[in-house]
Amino acid sequence: MTIIDASGLILGRLSSEVSKRLLNGESVVIVNSKDCLVSGSKNFIFSMYKIKRDRGSKERGPYFPRMPDMILRRTIRGMLPYKKSRGREAYRHLKVYVGVPDGLNETFESVSSASYSRLGTMKYVRLGDVSKKLGSKF
């Protein structure tokens, strides 16, 4: 089981790295999802996530989450073939937490390919801020 600390990691790069590991059969736990970074200007990011959230209807979907852990899970799901049995099985091996749960006192692994230093711009938003803007109370 791999435990990854998402603090200061870029959302898309982290998601692609985790999806590769899941498809290879690993179990992955991600902690501190609220501190994950989304690159881009604040206004653009907020408007894009608001559009995603408002799309569809309550009865028929598509349903887009508000909580940071569920947004990260949904992003990773988009990189998996989740409609096929292989992707569904890989998706079951993923756990994402907003903070650090009490039971996880092990050392966390960092993903160097998704670190903040690889970001070419100073414009970014934390996933927790996006989540609060969408109306979550975590």
- Give residue-wise pLDDT tens across range 41-91: 999 999 999 998 888 888 888 888 999 999 999 999 999 999 999 999 999
Whole-model pTM: value is 0.89
Tokens 């870029």, residue located: 10
Band (pLDDT 50/70/90 cuts) for residue 116 is confident
Q: Domain limits of the chain? A: 2-134
CATH class of the region 2-134: alpha beta
Instruction: Please give the Cα distance from 103 to 91 (Å, whole number).
Output: 22
Q: Which of 81, 72, 100 is nearest to 12 (CA)?
A: 72
- The predicted pLDDT at position 1 comes to 87
